[in-house]
Structure 1
Amino acid sequence: MKAIRRFTVRPVLPEPLRPLSDLARNLRWSWHPETRELFRSVDPDGWRAAGGDPVRVLGSVPAGRLAELARDEQFLARLSAASADLDDYLSGDRWYQQQSSGGGEAAELPAAIAYFSPEFGVTAALPQYSGGLGILAGDHLKSASDLGVPLIGVGLLYRHGYFRQSLSRDGWQQEHYPLLDPNELPVTLLRQPDDTPVRVHLALPGGRSLYAHIWVARVGRVPLLMLDSDVEENGPSERDVTDRLYGGGSEHRLLQEMLLGIGGVRAVRAYCALTGHAAPEVFHTNEGHAGFLGLERIRELQQDGTEFDAALEAVRAGTVFTTHTPVPAGIDRFDRHLVARHFGEGAELPAVDTDRILALGRETYPGGDPNVFNMAVMGLRLAQRANGVSTLHGAVSREMFAGLWPGFDPEEVPITSITNGVHAPTWVAPEVRALGARQIGAERAEEALSVGGSLRWDSVTDIPGADIWELRRDLREQLVIEVRTRLRASWRERGAGSAELGWIDGVLDPDVLTIGFARRVPSYKRLTLMLRDRERLTRLLLDPDRPVQIVVAGKAHPADDGGKRLVRELVRFSDDPRVRHRIVFLPDYGMGMAQKLYPGCDVWLNNPLRPLEACGTSGMKAALNGCLNLSVLDGWWDEWFQPDFGWAIPTADGHGLDEDRRDDLEAGALYELIEQRVAPRFYDRDADGLPERWIEMVRSTLADLGPKVLAGRMVREYVERLYAPAAHAHRALDVPGAAELAAWKTRVRTAWPQVAVDHVEVDEASGVAELGATLGLRVRVALGELTPEDVEVQAVAGRVDTSDRLADAQSVPLKPAGGPDQQGRWVYEGPLTLDRTGPFGYTVRILPTHRLLPAGADLGLVALPTEATGEGAGVLMR
């Protein structure tokens, strides 16, 4: 029989155990071992059955057991200590507060930051993530909490989350969408003082409405607000807006993103008003999905009487936009007519001009489609500061979006980079943490994992090699047990009976070199590159002296049949009785599996198409556990690779190669590395049976990569390089300042067609000069209706290639010499030092400048010498 109604019955905790409820409701337990151990001791069997979820444990523990614990003095002492520790964590000063108390530049730190993301991977107990973007967002919140950064997270609560994955008998991916009941999750409904739920409201076309409740998860010190449209006031289609992560068609996705951005700002305002939390000065958009938040903030200012242009400048000043995609195909784009229908009269934001909204998302660059609304383009136009997520990805992003800044070389496009990091307390295995604590003390080890910086990660070099190797084998053995358990469950789901599964007891070996590969399965990540030469791979797996074993996991998007075919291809190979004890595919990859997989592998494999991996943080998590990386030089590995702690897979970057030939070459390079370098180093043992050279690489991985890959380092960079400058700009661009800047921009754009470089003179006529010599430049410019206060005239110099393109260029400002001549031309002068040898060139240009402008390229306006005159051509030196 099926129940006609479902509800949750909560246990009544005895008074001495009441602190358990607060500990369970704050997700700090997900990265705090002592709290997890406390809940494990409440009901060890229930803890395992609940997948390590304290809320579910407390919901199922028998009343008799609770009464027993309420009388257990030892347990109550542990509970009191854990509760006091959480109170201290939530209220004590941390890194951010120490910066704020310093005065000076620290005074520019924002009072609060709102961080918007479509997904958050905080813990497996709150499955609101699909992959790297969500895990990164969850790590950002947790590290912000550890550092004391006053962040508010904003997302959606998906009633089905992302899909659960299983396999059919023939290896085809199957999706399942279990219903999530918020009452069984570690979240709390935001309520008014009279106990009624807080609602946000969006107006939809045709007089419809979209309502949403706000669920709050406590991520340490950080509140995470999640909007839920499954409320009674909505019609059936509106209730389903937050049904699935990345589900539905275009309009469904558009409504999700409107609710996230517009509804998210309204949720933040309601939360701050109810709780007294400081209002955010900085809004951080994690990818374009939440870009509509800028429109809602413009509406707020217009409601107070601010004109659109001034409101736009004020909003841009306090907005940070992070792009995570290295390809245009990864960006959300909507039909402009669909967007227009959802804004304006009779819909949402009626006071904001719809044409101005559409202009923000218009692809105005060459090759852009005028009929689509591009969320990343809008995100960039609504943010004064933008970044990619690795150094290489920053360069790729500047190239990809360069068309929004015509006249500027890609390297001058105002998109910087902050390389992602991972939250070490979440991803470091307890055994690795314990080894570090034994070496430098528990308190210093915790600080090293959460804050990083200049703390002594190099102390790992003092750990005896035997201890490191014993730890690595222990973690490998744990992985073997985990794999066998999951593999047996998977085969039963595929229809196998117990009598068929005896072979699983021999799957993997705790003494064999173990390679891990786990991630989403889009084609560019090349799940099946390892299968290009199956016989060669088989020989690697079955080598009698230096065998290799591989653990693979990954999900293809439900609509991606190509990705599903890749999964099936890998599964069918791993089903082969010849090799199935050496290579396995584990379905339903998620946080719970990952936390076992990263520590247990010896090598982490990553072989994307370069440069399509924006960052690739899975290898960082593996590295923090002493796992070595074997990867294409892409994302973070391109930035930090050294032979001391891993291997770089050579890539076939030549033009003209077809895909098959490229993949054959790179797969061959992968096999060669494993055969000739990776496996020999793992199996080369000294007299004590230790692979000393391998252990040294583990030491180098921990000591050198450890501090770099931390999310604590990443969040500190966001604070210092983006959040603090954005807060400063936000304060400078109050309503009068924003109106001033908007009016100035309008005047400059109107006058710019008359701005020109009229003539360039140089006091050195020869094409060859000596290093260190100085050229005197004299430039005549036309400024039209503008004045020298509105512009900066620059000499730009650097190396030149065979087509006279400048590279590694540096700019030098020139100064006006007197007033305008009779034709209204101005003369600018200045020296140009020849500071490098070889082919060298210069040009001159005019840029708009204003004290409130964040960068010279901000307006996308530049005046250059006309190529027809030949003026500004290069000067050559040897």
Structure 2
Amino acid sequence: MKAIRRFTVRPVLPEPLRPLSDLARNLRWSWHTETRDLFRAVDPAAGSAECDPVRLLGAVSAGRLAELAGDEQFLRRLAEASADLRTYLDGPRWYQDQLAGGAELPAAVAYFSPEFGVTAALPQYSGGLGILAGDHLKAASDLGVPLVAVGLLYRHGYFRQSLSRDGWQQEHYPVLDPNELPLGLLREADGSPSRVVLALPGGRSLHAHIWHARVGRVPLLMLDSAVEENAPGEREVTDRLYGGGSEHRLLQEMLLGIGGVRAVRTYCRLTGHPAPEVFHTNEGHAGFLGLERIRELGGTGLDFDAAVEAVRAGTVFTTHTPVPAGIDRFDRELVARHLGDDGELPGVDVEHILRLGDETYPGGEPELFNMAVMGLRLAQRANGVSTLHGQVGREMFAGLWPGFDAAEVPITSVTNGVHAPTWVAPEILRMHGPCDGAPGRTAPADSIPDRELWDLRRTLRARLVTEVRERLHASWRDRGAQAAELGWIDGVLDPDVLTIGFARRVPSYKRLTLMLRDRDRLGKLLLHPTRPVQIVVAGKAHPADDGGKRLVRELVRFSDDARVRHRIVFLPDYGMAMAQNLYPGCDVWLNNPLRPLEACGTSGMKAALNGCLNLSVLDGWWDEWYEPDFGWAIPTADGLAVDEDRRDDLEAGALYELIEDRIAPRFYDRDGEGLPGRWIEMVRRTLRDLGPKVLAERMVAEYVERLYAPAARAHRATDRGAARRLAGWKARVRSAWPGVAVDHVEASAADGAGGSAELGATLVLRVRIALGALEPDDVEVQAVAGRVDAADGISDAQVFPLKPAGGQDLEGRWLYEGPLTLDRTGPYGYTVRVLPTHPLLATGAELGLVALPAESAGDGAGVFLR
């Protein structure tokens, strides 16, 4: 029989145990080993379960609580943990040290993301984007960055995955009760729940409560539409992560962006938290936050264009997708209906809004509203999440900056990092030394003896074997098997066999089944008599992705084969709890996406921090930091004129060859003491040299120094008056730009003649420019020079500013000149261009305006150096 109403009965903790409540409600326990151990001591019988202190305290008996209240040893541990948390929360950190040193940093940063992977006890994530966001918050907390995070509270989370008997993915959506999660409801001074309200077409309203979690020092605000004031349809807006149709997703993103800004304002009003000067949009899902801030500024008398400039100055946009298909795009009419006079932003011209998301570039679709395009137009600073992804992003969005080479598109990169205390096995942390709170620092690994390091690797591998068997047994029971059928599971995997891990989402480009291209060859690798390999695989396909589900079934069916099932396993329901044992227990981490479609790929970073070696295509972060000391690079056939099947055959063959000829022999090559010396040295170098690079503390410090601090300075400089002036200047420049032209270019060389010159020679360029209605202060004139290809395209370009050399001539032209030093040999060329310039522009490409010479203009446009 079912209950007609559900509610949570909270335990009443004895007075000596009251600090347990504070420890449970701050998610720092999710990365603080000593606090987790304390909670496991509350109920040792539940010690092997996933740590969830809130649920644990809700289930422990009154008798056990009374027993603990009289346990002096436990109370001492509790007092130490409570004091340690207070010290952590109140003590100065790296950010405060930077401020004390005179750094100009923002008073606060608002960080918006559609998902957050902080802990398995708060299942509000689907994959890498959410895990990255969770690690960002934890690292910001460790560094003392004054961050306020904003997301949605999904009552069904993402989904739990199981398998049918034939290996087909099954989805389950358990209901999450916020009262059973490590959350609190934000309340007004009178005790009533705080809320945000959005206006919907037809006179409807969308109400949301604001739940908040404490992620160390960082508050995480989560909006929840499951409130009584909403009609049934509106209550379901925050039902599932990435669920529903187009209108459902639009409402989610309106609530995240528009409602999220209102939630931040409410939180700051109630708590006294500093108002954010910088708003960070983690992917386009939260892009509507810019529209809400424009609406706010409209109430201060700024028109739309001036408000856009004020908003852009303090906004950072991070793109995570390397493919256009990964971007949210909505029908323009749907957006207009929800944001027009009958919707959420009355008084704001909806045509202005729609232009922000227009795909006004070759190949764009005029009827669609692109959330990433809006995010870029409303952010003065943007970045990808690895060096290679920054390059891919510049090429993907180059159409927004016509006239500029992709290399000059104003999208930089900050390579992702991972939060070591969350992902590194406690034994590794104790041996290797945790990050000390400064970005990019770990203790040296050189002092760890080979035997100690190798024994620890085996211990972690054995722990993974135990967990795999437990999870595999549970999975087969879910698939309908009887206990009597499952004795074989006790022989699955071996703690002394080379173990390869592969776990991630299952879109087609990640190629879950590349390892199956030659099943006979894979079987020989798994069953080799002296150098066997075992593989642990996990991953979820999106519920709507039948292609991904077919890949899962293909892998599962292979791993079900009685001949190999003790050497390869698929574990359903991949998530944070599984990952935290999977990364430390593997010897090699496999990643074989289609290059360059992996934006970053942080799972390999987590593995590396545990001494696991990477075996990966040169994509994402691995393209940037690969060294032979850290693992192996899988050769790729990208860029070759081969079809997909041939490409996959080639790359799978390269993968098998690496395992057969290099990886397995090195793992099993033992000295007289039974130690694989060369393998251990690779592990040591991975911990010592790669570890500091992949830390989230390094990543967040880069965001602070390269993006947040400049954005804060720009925000302060772009007050209402400056925003009006900047908007007016941009309008004037755009209007006058058709009159800007490069009329004539001439060059005189210090030596050399004809079409050649010697290295070190200097060309003196003289250029005549037509500026029309503009003045010299409105523009910058540049020479752009570098090596040229057969079509005269300039690569590896250098920019040389040219200076005014007098006033206007009789024809109204302006003369500019400057030196161009020839510092490279080979085919060399240059061109001249004119860009707008203004003190409040972050880059000359910002407006997307450039004037270039006609192809026939000038003399000596190319030089061959000898």
Do both proteins adopt the same fold according to a TM-score greater than 0.5, normalized to the shorter chain? yes
Do 1:323 and 1:389's aligned partners in 2 also have CA atoms closer than 8 Å? yes
Aligned to 1:440: none
The answer to whether structure 1 residue 76 and structure 2 residue 75 are counterparts is yes
The answer to whether structure 1 residue 840 and structure 2 residue 828 are counterparts is yes
Do 2:106 and 2:276's aligned partners in 1 also have CA atoms closer than 8 Å? yes
The answer to whether structure 1 residue 201 and structure 2 residue 186 are counterparts is no
Instruction: Give, in whole Å, the separation in 2 of the partners of 1:101 and 1:684.
Output: 53
Aligned to 1:675: 660
Gaps of 5+ in 1: 437-444
Do 2:157 and 2:176's aligned partners in 1 also have CA atoms closer than 8 Å? yes
Aligned to 1:397: 393
Q: How does 1:638-657 map to 2 (within 5 A)?
A: 638-657=623-642
One-letter amino acid matched to 2:438: V
The answer to whether structure 1 residue 811 and structure 2 residue 799 are counterparts is yes
- SS in structure 2 of the partner of residue 461 of structure 1: coil
Aligned to 1:542: 527
Instruction: Give, in whole Å, the separation in 1 of the partners of 2:11 and 2:818.
Output: 78
Instruction: Give, in whole Å, the separation in 2 of the partners of 1:513 and 1:160.
Output: 38
- SS in structure 2 of the partner of residue 6 of structure 1: coil
Aligned equivalent of 2:209, options 207, 210, 213: 213
Aligned to 1:723: 708
Aligned equivalent of 1:775, options 758, 763, 769: 763
Instruction: Give, in whole Å, the separation in 1 of the partners of 2:728 and 2:382.
Output: 24
**Deviation string for 1:806-859 (max 9, x for gaps)?**
011111111111111122110111111111111111000000001111100000
Aligned to 1:446: 434
One-letter amino acid matched to 1:705: L
Aligned to 2:35: 35
- SS in structure 2 of the partner of residue 462 of structure 1: coil
Aligned to 1:10: 10
Instruction: Give, in whole Å, the separation in 1 of the partners of 2:208 and 2:678.
Output: 57
- SS in structure 1 of the partner of residue 833 of structure 2: strand
Gaps of 5+ in 2: none
Do 1:865 and 1:872's aligned partners in 2 also have CA atoms closer than 8 Å? no
One-letter amino acid matched to 1:612: L
Q: How does 1:625-644 map to 2 (within 5 A)?
A: 625-644=610-629
Aligned equivalent of 1:663, options 624, 648, 652: 648
Instruction: Give, in whole Å, the separation in 1 of the partners of 2:632 and 2:434.
Output: 29
The answer to whether structure 1 residue 99 and structure 2 residue 98 are counterparts is yes
One-letter amino acid matched to 1:60: A
**Deviation string for 1:439-481 (max 9, x for gaps)?**
xxxxxx3334x5343x454x21121100010000000000000
Instruction: Give, in whole Å, the separation in 2 of the partners of 1:657 and 1:206.
Output: 54
Instruction: Give, in whole Å, the separation in 1 of the partners of 2:111 and 2:87.
Output: 24
Aligned to 2:718: 733
Displacement of 1:876 after TM fit?
1.9
Q: How does 1:175-574 map to 2 (within 5 A)?
A: 175-436=171-432, 445-448=433-436, 450-453=437-440, 455=441, 457=443, 459-574=444-559
Aligned to 2:849: 861
Instruction: Give, in whole Å, the separation in 2 of the partners of 1:160 and 1:872.
Output: 67
Instruction: Give, in whole Å, the separation in 1 of the partners of 2:212 and 2:859.
Output: 62
The answer to whether structure 1 residue 827 and structure 2 residue 815 are counterparts is yes
Do 1:187 and 1:215's aligned partners in 2 also have CA atoms closer than 8 Å? yes
**Deviation string for 1:90-125 (max 9, x for gaps)?**
11100000001111xx0x200000000000000000
Displacement of 1:47 after TM fit?
4.3
One-letter amino acid matched to 1:82: A
**Deviation string for 1:223-251 (max 9, x for gaps)?**
00000000000000100000000000000
One-letter amino acid matched to 2:261: V
Query: What TM-score do the two structures reach when normalised by structure 1?
Result: 0.98
One-letter amino acid matched to 2:355: A
Instruction: Give, in whole Å, the separation in 2 of the partners of 1:446 and 1:521.
Output: 32
Aligned to 1:873: 861
Instruction: Give, in whole Å, the separation in 1 of the partners of 2:635 and 2:26.
Output: 45
Do 2:442 and 2:691's aligned partners in 1 also have CA atoms closer than 8 Å? no
The number of residue pairs the alignment matches comes to: 863
The answer to whether structure 1 residue 65 and structure 2 residue 80 are counterparts is no
**Deviation string for 1:505-529 (max 9, x for gaps)?**
0000000000000000000000000
One-letter amino acid matched to 1:359: R
Judged with a 3 Å threshold, the aligned counterparts in structure 2 of structure 1 residues 61 and 326 are, in CA distance, closer, same or farther, namely same
Do 1:131 and 1:519's aligned partners in 2 also have CA atoms closer than 8 Å? yes
Do 2:743 and 2:857's aligned partners in 1 also have CA atoms closer than 8 Å? no
Do 2:154 and 2:239's aligned partners in 1 also have CA atoms closer than 8 Å? yes
- SS in structure 2 of the partner of residue 408 of structure 1: coil
CA RMSD of aligned residues (A): 0.9
Displacement of 1:149 after TM fit?
0.2
Q: How does 1:661-810 map to 2 (within 5 A)?
A: 661-764=646-749, 766-810=754-798
Displacement of 1:304 after TM fit?
1.2
One-letter amino acid matched to 1:831: P
Aligned to 2:599: 614
Instruction: Give, in whole Å, the separation in 2 of the partners of 1:85 and 1:26.
Output: 13
Aligned equivalent of 2:125, options 125, 129, 150: 129
**Deviation string for 1:226-284 (max 9, x for gaps)?**
00000000000100000000000000000000000000000000000000000000000
Aligned to 2:52: 53
Displacement of 1:875 after TM fit?
1.9
- SS in structure 1 of the partner of residue 806 of structure 2: coil
Instruction: Give, in whole Å, the separation in 2 of the partners of 1:728 and 1:678.
Output: 50
**Deviation string for 1:196-244 (max 9, x for gaps)?**
0001000000000000000000000000000000000000010000000
Instruction: Give, in whole Å, the separation in 2 of the partners of 1:447 and 1:252.
Output: 42
Displacement of 1:656 after TM fit?
2.1
Do 2:424 and 2:610's aligned partners in 1 also have CA atoms closer than 8 Å? yes
One-letter amino acid matched to 2:837: T
Do 1:47 and 1:57's aligned partners in 2 also have CA atoms closer than 8 Å? no
Displacement of 1:872 after TM fit?
6.9
Instruction: Give, in whole Å, the separation in 2 of the partners of 1:820 and 1:496.
Output: 88
Instruction: Give, in whole Å, the separation in 2 of the partners of 1:508 and 1:691.
Output: 20
Instruction: Give, in whole Å, the separation in 1 of the partners of 2:745 and 2:537.
Output: 62
**Deviation string for 1:783-811 (max 9, x for gaps)?**
00001000000111111111100011111
One-letter amino acid matched to 1:744: W
One-letter amino acid matched to 2:269: A
Displacement of 1:869 after TM fit?
3.6
Do 2:747 and 2:859's aligned partners in 1 also have CA atoms closer than 8 Å? no
**Deviation string for 1:118-167 (max 9, x for gaps)?**
00000000000000000000000000000000000000000000000000
Do 2:755 and 2:860's aligned partners in 1 also have CA atoms closer than 8 Å? no
Displacement of 1:653 after TM fit?
2.1
Instruction: Give, in whole Å, the separation in 2 of the partners of 1:661 and 1:414.
Output: 36
One-letter amino acid matched to 2:781: V
Aligned to 1:172: 168
Aligned to 2:156: 160
Instruction: Give, in whole Å, the separation in 2 of the partners of 1:329 and 1:476.
Output: 38
Instruction: Give, in whole Å, the separation in 2 of the partners of 1:446 and 1:85.
Output: 16
One-letter amino acid matched to 1:27: L
Do 2:435 and 2:442's aligned partners in 1 also have CA atoms closer than 8 Å? no
Aligned to 1:442: none
Instruction: Work out the percentage of aligned pairs sharing the same amino acid.
Output: 80
One-letter amino acid matched to 2:272: G
Instruction: Give, in whole Å, the separation in 1 of the partners of 2:212 and 2:861.
Output: 61
